[in-house]
Amino acid sequence: MKITVIGTGYVGLVVGACLSETGNDVVCADLDVAKIDGLKQNVLPIYEPGLEEYVERNQASGRLTFTTDVGAAIAGAEVIFIAVGTPPDEDGSADLKHVLAVADSIGRHATREIVVITKSTVPVGTADKVAAVIRPLIAHPFHMCSNPEFLKEGAAIDDFMKPDRVVIGVDADFARDRMGELYAPFVRTGKPIIFMDIPSAEMTKYAANAMLATRISFMNEIANLCEKVGANVDLVRKGIGSDSRIGPAFLFPGPGYGGSCFPKDVKALVRTSEECGAPLGILRAVEDANERQKHRLFDKVREALGGELRGRRVALWGLAFKANTDDMRESPSLTLIEALVHAGATVVAHDPAAIPETQRRLGNRIAYAATGYDALAGADALVVVTDWNEYRFPDFARIRAALNRPVVVDGRNLYDPEKMRALGFTYRSLGRGRE
């Protein structure tokens, strides 16, 4: 199948690489000349495990190509995925200007009957808006489709190649047949392709992310309460996660959610609900809880260092909003860094993947270390922000020797409190009773 993916950001690049892996001819188009030039040389603009190998292999085979000629890419396509950015507007709603600009190009350059798919996360009604732009411009039949992505950063290749489900909103049998054929290789193990109307597919994406964000904020609030009443959130998590109605996923407390999806999508859904006269007050509470949670680590560092941070040196392990990505969007580390610097502390940070992106954002406002242990030298405290595997089983004796003060604030509950205290650390974590 001849496929064009417009947009080579996180979603578009993963979609293009994975669809080419199953034998399709895929063209990924983007107006960013530097990005496309890099991709032609197998230089990726994002860090995602396994993606570089897919891009390199499928470019070498000729199944995957990159171009800045969006019009030509559209002209050769049978199926077109719109995967451009939908950044939040000032009021929290999704900005659709890039999506609608692509729709205009599709209308002007399509040369045959096509299926047009919104892959970007877009509010309910966007497919109708895209169709309204295309309709007066196009000389051939076209069919709209909504195919929301459910890709976890750090595991996106597996999520696409072995999905839990594929959600497809269609308005015609032609689109249903083409999309069923396209996704058949990915659901051979029996996972479902769920066909539905387009508005329901558009809503499904927002509802899924809002539910997961709600679980995260709920568990963070429970962890905070556990500290007040002397309960252990690790045991509470196991107790409720074993209930089949709840399940164990997304019940680990942490420093707050971030990334490209949850913050933006929760805001957009709140905005949509208010515009429709059915406000989602629960999601306002989720947002508020998440903003509070992002300040928890700073409060714990300040308390562990006796209330005074001016002149202190603080080591950070982890900058990305989660492990296995270099994504810094809405990362809790940024909130922590701002608070520490404002309080007069010096920050030195390590992250296996996100240092270049952090340097782009913060420049020399903080220092950067080549290894996690290098960050510790002379520091008055270590704060674990991101749960990269290399931070899970460190050399505690080496940490103890390198730190100026034996203070560890564990924002991911990676370490055992009793062991840390036995090793002589002043140890703070989340929700494990009164520390």
What does pLDDT average to over the chain? 95
Instruction: List pLDDT tens digits, range 21-41.
Output: 999 999 999 999 999 999 999
Tell me which amino acid residue 204 is. T
pLDDT band of residue 435 (cuts 50, 70, 90) is confident
Query: Where does CATH 3.40.50.720 sit in the chain?
Result: 2-196, 294-428
> Is-contact 344 310, C-beta < 8 A?
yes
CATH 1.10.1040.10 intervals, the chain:
205-292
Summarised one tens digit per residue, pLDDT across range 241-253 is: 999 999 999 999 9
Confidence at residue 121, expressed as pLDDT on a 0 to 100 scale: 86
The two tokens of residue 122 are 């877009």
Within 8 A by CB and 6+ apart from 14, the residues are 48, 51, 149, 151, 156, 157, 160
What pLDDT is stored for residue 434 in this prediction? 77
Helix (H) / strand (E) containing 106 = helix 97-109
Mean pLDDT along residues 330-341: 97
Q: What is the pLDDT of residues 346-374, one digit of tens each?
A: 999 999 999 999 999 999 999 999 999 99
**Looking at the domain 205-292, which fold is it?**
N-(1-d-carboxylethyl)-l-norvaline Dehydrogenase; domain 2 (1.10.1040)
Architecture of the CATH domain 294-428: 3-Layer(aba) Sandwich (3.40)
What confidence category does residue 260 fall into, taking pLDDT thresholds of 50, 70 and 90? confident
- Name the token pair of 110: 């399509």
Q: Are the CB atoms for 168 and 193 separated by under 8 Å?
A: yes
Q: Which architecture characterizes domain 2-196 according to CATH?
A: 3-Layer(aba) Sandwich (3.40)
Residues 279-300, mean pLDDT to the nearest whole number: 96
Q: Does 95 or 202 have the greater pLDDT score?
A: 202
Give the residue, 123 or 51, on which the prediction is more confident: 51
Digit-coded pLDDT (tens) for 86-107: 877 767 778 899 999 999 999 9
State the pLDDT at residue 120.
84
Q: What is the pLDDT of residue 237?
A: 96
What pLDDT, on a 0 to 100 scale, did the predictor assign at position 87? 79
- pLDDT greater than 90 at residue 177: yes
Q: Give the contacts of 338 (CB within 8 A, at least 6 positions apart).
A: none
- Return d(Cα 158, Cα 138) in angstroms, integer: 36
Q: What is the pLDDT of residue 154?
A: 93
**For residues 348 and 316, is the Cβ–Cβ distance under 8 A?**
yes
- Average pLDDT on 182-200 reads 95
| pLDDT at 88 (0 to 100) | 76
Mean pLDDT score, 55-73: 97
The dihedral sign for the CA sequence 124, 11, 35, 332: positive
Catalytic residues: 261
Per-residue pLDDT, 93: 77
- Look at residue 361 in the predicted model and tell me its pLDDT: 96
Question: Hey, how many other C-beta atoms are within 10 angstroms of the C-beta on 357?
Answer: 20
Does pTM surpass 0.85? yes
Q: How far apart are CA 7 and CA 166, in angstroms?
A: 21
pLDDT attached to residue 95: 87
Residue 347's DSSP bridge partners are 314
User: Which pLDDT score, from 0 to 100, does residue 370 have?
Assistant: 97
